[in-house]
């Protein structure tokens, strides 16, 4: 995924998840590479 999308492209997709699921409770490990979503799921 990190090859297909730039950091900005991934960031805006994760921002959408932030709106629908602010605490990343729903399937936090799916869709996004774990390394990229780490800062959001750690909290």
Partner 1 sequence: MEIHHPQNVAELCDIIAAAPQPLSVLGGGTRPIGQSSARCGLSTDLMSGIVTYEPGAMTLVAKSGTSVAEIEAALDLENQCLAFEPMDHRDLLGTQGIPTLGGIIAANVSGPRRIQVGAARDFTLGVSFVDGAGQLLKNGGRVMKNVTGYDLVKLLVGSWGTLGVLTEVSLKVLPKAETESTLRIATQGWEKAVECMSAVLRTPYDVSGVGTVLNVNGGKDVMIRIEGFVASVRYRVSQLTQRLVHFGDITEIESPWHEMRNLTAWKSMDTVWRVSLRPTNSLKLLKVLEASDIKLQYQMDWGGGLIWLGLDDENKQRAENTATLHAIIQEQLTALGGHATLMKSASLTDMLVPSFQPQTPTLNKLMVDLRHKFDPRGILNPGRMY
Check binding of 35 to partner 1 (CB under 8 A).
no
Quick one: which H or E segment has residue 36? helix 34-41
In the complex, minimum distance from the CB of residue 8 to partner 1, in angstroms, rounded to a whole number: 5
Closest to partner 1 by CB, 19 vs 42, is: 19
Closest to partner 1 by CB, 12 vs 38, is: 12
Check binding of 13 to partner 1 (CB under 8 A).
yes
User: With left for phi above 0 and alpha for psi between -120 and 50, is residue 27 left, alpha or beta?
Assistant: left
| C-alpha span between 31 and 14 (Å, rounded) | 10
């Amino acid at each position: 995924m990190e090859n297909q999308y730039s950091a900005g492209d991934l960031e805006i997709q994760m921002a959408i998840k932030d709106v629908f699921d602010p605490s990343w409770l729903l399937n936090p490990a799916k869709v996004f590479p774990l390394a990229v979503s780490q800062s959001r799921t750690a909290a």
